[in-house]
Amino acid sequence: MFKGDARAFWVCAPGDGELRDTSIGPANQGEVLVRTRFSGISRGTEMLVFGGRVPPDQYRLMRAPFQEGEFPGPVKYGYLNVGIVEEGPPELLGRTVFCLYPHQTHYVVPVTAVVAVPDDVPPERAVLAGAVETAVNALWDAPPLIGDHVTVVGAGMIGCCVARLLAKFPAVSVTLVDVDTSRAEVAAALGVRFATPDTAPSDQDRVFHTSSAADGLRLALRLLRTEGEVIEMSWYGDTDVSLPLGRAFHSQRLAIRSSQVGRVAPARRSSRTLADRRALALQLLRDEAFDALLTGRSDFDHLPETMAQIAAGALPGLCHVITYEKD
């Protein structure tokens, strides 16, 4: 039985993490106590945080909803958490919920901070809700037209989620591009074509860029047709990026615009809340194809070592899931 003690993962200093004990109180009126079952590691933003690469002028904007501490550390950071409500209103007791909470065994948050996971969505798959929500927002920013040719550059967790949602649009040709040829198997599971940078199709109506690499963004520009558009979804932390904005960029009237998940896309901002968008993401996760993104599993007790291994490239993959229950 839970007695008010929990453990959480903290980044102590760049590249160095540890598990810390913490005490939490009971759930008061309007709150829920959640016991975590799974959390997911973001290989993009979370690795930048782990490596101490959040620029000082972005400290406020990059705060996670339930972050504790400050960048570059010590800081408790994360936002892909699935657990079971152990205290709270009757309609949520025993329900599996998703929350933008860091890696922690138990936590108390307002009822409004959790979204119930549909009964037909496996809890482990539900850790992808944050990534699918990001993809939903991007497609609200830039939905394809029927018959469009669309490429996603970067077959990471976010890029794969974008590709899968694009695959559902009628008569839209979707290609997923990555330097890692092993991602071809994932692309097949998602129902889209795969290409390397050397074989990627040109004359694309739109390219979604998610690789967080300058070479990827330059490739995205090269793949566009005249008056095509790149939707930039990567965040580079403290890294500057140079782009070839002469030559074809002007003569072909190309465009680059950003899509960022912090706010609902303008096209739906007056009619959808953040909770609405998150609930939609969880509904979309009824799709079994997303299981192809769950490519690693580690126990919570080994999370400091797991984070260091992912940062060093020793644990490649897409979404690495942290488990909190002993088999």
**Three-class secondary structure of residue 157 per DSSP:** helix
Tell me what pLDDT residue 134 has.
97
Confidence of residue 297 (pLDDT cuts 50, 70, 90): very high
CA dihedral 87, 88, 90, 95 (to 10 degrees): -70
Domain boundaries, the chain: 5-130+271-323, 143-258
Computed from CA positions of residues 306, 311, 314, 320, in that sequence, does the dihedral angle turn out positive or negative? positive
Confidence of residue 2 (pLDDT cuts 50, 70, 90): low
Q: What is the pLDDT of residues 157-214, one digit of tens each?
A: 999 999 999 999 999 999 999 999 999 999 999 999 999 999 999 999 999 999 999 9
Out of 3.20.20.70, 3.40.50.720, 3.40.50.150, 3.30.70.100, the CATH code matching 143-258 is 3.40.50.720
| pLDDT at residue 224 tops 60 | yes
Sheet-wide strand order for 173-177: 193-195, 173-177, 149-153, 204-209, 224-232, 255-258
Domain 5-130+271-323 matching CATH 3.90.180.10: the answer reads yes
CA distance 290 to 282: 11
Tell me what pLDDT residue 235 has.
84
Q: Which one, of 135, 137, 126, lies nearest residue 174 by Cα? A: 135
The 10 Å Cβ neighbour count of residue 26 is 10
**Measuring CA to CA, how many Å separate 90 from each of 30, 111, 122, 163, 270?**
11, 12, 22, 38, 31
Q: Mean of the pLDDT values across residues 126-144?
A: 97
Q: Mean of the pLDDT values across residues 24-37?
A: 96
pTM reported for the whole predicted model? 0.94
CA distance 257 to 208: 10
75: phi then psi, degrees, rounded to nearest 5:
-150, 140
**Three-class secondary structure of residue 37 per DSSP:** strand
Confidence of residue 327 (pLDDT cuts 50, 70, 90): low
Mean of all residue pLDDT scores within the chain: 95
